[in-house]
C-alpha cells in the first residue's frame, strides 16, 4: 500500500508537549541513513528535551548521519512575530553536526526534516511548528509528514544550499514541478516553493488563488501584511465572494498596526487591514505580548485554503516572510482541503469576538 500524507494539528491547551515530542521521536526513530534538520527555534526543556536528545543519540549510534541548521542573531528592531533564540547548549548536547544560519537581515524560518532522502523510503516533516514547549502546548500549529522521493529531493536541495552557504540570501531560486502523493487512498498533487528565491511568487500565488476562488476561502495566519494578499482580500469586501473565514493573532497585528502608523511607506496598510478584518468574517486570538521569558501562546498556524487547494508551511502572509528562508507547500486534494477547513473553522469558532477596530 502506498504511504499516505499524515497531518497533525495542534491547539492551545489541547495536547501535552510529551505527546508532540513522541511524534517527533517516532519520525526520527524511523531514520536509517540520514536526517537533515532545518529548525528556526529549538528550545525544549524537561521531558520533551530528554526525549529528543535520546532519539537523536540513538539514531547516531545506529549510523544515521545527522545535520542540523538553526537561526541565530537578529540585531535589528524586533519584528512581528519576534525572532527565536535557539538553545545552543542543548543543540551542542545532541552531539551532531550543526550550523547556525545568520538571521541578518532575514530569518532562517524553516521547520523541516528530510529523512533518508537518498533511500527507497524518504520522508519530509514540515509545517508551522517550532520545537519548543510552548509551540507544542500553547500555540495553534500544523505538522505534515510527506512520503515522497521527489519532495525529499527538493527539500534536500534547499537544505544543501543553506548548509553550503551559511546564509539565507540567494537560496530557493528554482521552479519545481508538482509531484503525486496520496492521502488516505485519494490522489494529491503537491508543489513546494522556497523563499527568498520564490518569496514574491508565494505571496502572489496565494493572492491569485483567493482572487479566483469559486466555493470557499479560509485564511489562518499570525499576521497578514503582504501587500498583494491585503489588496486581494480588500477586493472581496467590495463584491460577492465565496464562503470565507479567517483567523489571525490579534496581539501581533495590533503591534503591526502601530509600526505601520509611523512608516510612510505602509500608510495604506493599516486602513486596508482594518477594513478587511471588520468587513470579512475574521476571528482573532488575544495572545501574550512577546518577551523572552513570557509564555509564547501565538496563533501560529499558517494555512490558506481555496476551494480544494491547501497552502501551508512556515510562511506567514507577511511582507518580511518573502525575504526569509521559508517553504510553502501547495496541496491539491479535496479530502485534505476539507480536513484543513475543519481545523480553521474550529480555531475560528474558538476565537470569534469583536474585531480589532474596537480596540482603537
Q: With residue 25 as reference, give the H or E element that holds it.
A: helix 17-29
Domain ranges of the chain: 6-359
Partners of 6 in the β-ladder:
145
What is the pLDDT at residue 311?
99
Between the alpha carbon of residue 22 and those of residues 52, 124, 153, 260, the distances in Å are 8, 17, 26, 41
What is the pLDDT at residue 84?
60
| DSSP reduced 3-state for 222 | coil
251: region left, alpha or beta (phi > 0 left; psi from -120 to 50 alpha): alpha
What is the pLDDT at residue 302?
99
Please, what's the b/e burial string for 72-87 (b: 16 or more CB within 10 A of its CB; e: otherwise)?
bebeeeebbbbbbebb
Per-residue pLDDT of the chain (360 residues; tens, 9 = 90+): 589 999 999 999 999 999 999 999 999 999 999 999 999 999 999 999 999 999 999 999 999 999 999 998 654 445 555 556 688 999 999 999 999 998 778 999 999 999 999 999 999 999 999 999 999 999 999 999 999 999 999 999 999 999 999 999 999 999 999 999 999 999 999 999 999 999 999 999 999 999 999 999 999 999 999 999 999 999 999 999 999 999 999 999 999 999 999 998 998 999 999 999 999 999 999 999 998 889 999 999 999 999 999 999 999 999 999 999 999 999 999 999 999 999 999 999 999 975 444 443
Query: CA 256: distance to chain centroid?
Result: 19
Between the alpha carbon of residue 287 and those of residues 82, 87, 280, 347, 348, the distances in Å are 13, 23, 21, 14, 15
What is the pLDDT at residue 292?
86
All cell numbers assigned to 333: 486534494
Q: What is the spatial distance between Cα 272 and Cα 356, in angstroms, rounded to a whole number? A: 13
Going by C-alpha positions, the residue among 210, 207, 220, 214 that lies closest to residue 344 is: 220
Q: What is the spatial distance between Cα 344 and Cα 337, in angstroms, rounded to a whole number? A: 11
Helix 269-279, helix 227-236: angle, nearest 10: 40
Query: CA 115: distance to chain centroid?
Result: 19
Q: Counting beta carbons within 10 angstroms of the beta carbon of residue 347, is it exposed (0 to 12), middle (13 to 18) or buried (19 or more)?
A: buried
For domain 6-359, give its CATH number from 3.30.870.10, 2.70.98.90, 3.40.50.800, 3.40.50.970. 3.30.870.10
Which residues have CB under 8 Å from 304's CB, separation 6+?
206, 209, 210, 217, 218, 219, 220, 221, 310, 311, 312, 317
Tell me if 166 sits within 8 A of 78, measured CB to CB.
no
Greatest alpha-carbon span in the chain: 61
Q: What is the spatial distance between Cα 135 and Cα 41, in angstroms, rounded to a whole number? A: 10
Tell me if 280 sits within 8 A of 233, measured CB to CB.
yes
Residue with cell 474550529: 346
CA dihedral over 273, 110, 114, 179, signed as positive or negative: positive
Amino acid at each position: 500500500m502506498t504511504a499516505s500524507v499524515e497531518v497533525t494539528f495542534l491547539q492551545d491547551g489541547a495536547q501535552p508537549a510529551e505527546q508532540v515530542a513522541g511524534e517527533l521521536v517516532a519520525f526520527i526513530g524511523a531514520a536509517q541513513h540520514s536526517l537533515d534538520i532545518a529548525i528556526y527555534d529549538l528550545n525544549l526543556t524537561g521531558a520533551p528535551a530528554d526525549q529528543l536528545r535520546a532519539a537523536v543519540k540513538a539514531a547516531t549510534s545506529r549510523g544515521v548521519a545527522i545535520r542540523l541548521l538553526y537561526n541565530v542573531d537578529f540585531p535589528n528592531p524586533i519584528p512581528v512575530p519576534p525572532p527565536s533564540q535557539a538553545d545552543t547548549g542543548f543543540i551542542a548536547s545532541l552531539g551532531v553536526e550543526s550550523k547556525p544560519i545568520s538571521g541578518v537581515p532575514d530569518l532562517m524560518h524553516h521547520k523541516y526534516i528530510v529523512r533518508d532522502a537518498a533511500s527507497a523510503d524518504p520522508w519530509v516533516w514540515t509545517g508551522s511548528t517550532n520545537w519548543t514547549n510552548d509551540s507544542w502546548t500553547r500555540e495553534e500549529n500544523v505538522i505534515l509528514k510527506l512520503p515522497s522521493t521527489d519532495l525529499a529531493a527538493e527539500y534536500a536541495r534547499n537544505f544543501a544550499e543553506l548548509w553550503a552557504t551559511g546564509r539565507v540570501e540567494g537560496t530557493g531560486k528554482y521552479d519545481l514541478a508538482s509531484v503525486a502523493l496520496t492521502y488516505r487512498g485519494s490522489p494529491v498533487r503537491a508543489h513546494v516553493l522556497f523563499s527568498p528565491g520564490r518569496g514574491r511568487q508565494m505571496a502572489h500565488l496565494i493572492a491569485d488563488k483567493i482572487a479566483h476562488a469559486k466555493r470557499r476561502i479560509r485564511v489562518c495566519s499570525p499576521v497578514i501584511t503582504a501587500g498583494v494578499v491585503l489588496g486581494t482580500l480588500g477586493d472581496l469586501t467590495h463584491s460577492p465572494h465565496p464562503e470565507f473565514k479567517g483567523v489571525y493573532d490579534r496581539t501581533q497585528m495590533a503591534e503591526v498596526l502601530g509600526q505601520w502608523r509611523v512608516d510612510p511607506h505602509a500608510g495604506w496598510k493599516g486602513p486596508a487591514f482594518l477594513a478587511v478584518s471588520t468587513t470579512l468574517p475574521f476571528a482573532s486570538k488575544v495572545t501574550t505580548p512577546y518577551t523572552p521569558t513570557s509564555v509564547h501562546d501565538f496563533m501560529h498556524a499558517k494555512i490558506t485554503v481555496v476551494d480544494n487547494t491547501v497552502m501551508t508551511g512556515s510562511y506567514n502572509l507577511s511582507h518580511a516572510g518573502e525575504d526569509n528562508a521559508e517553504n510553502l507547500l501547495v496541496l491539491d486534494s479535496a479530502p485534505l482541503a476539507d480536513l484543513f477547513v475543519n481545523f480553521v473553522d474550529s480555531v475560528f469558532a474558538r476565537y470569534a469576538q469583536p474585531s480589532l477596530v474596537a480596540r482603537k
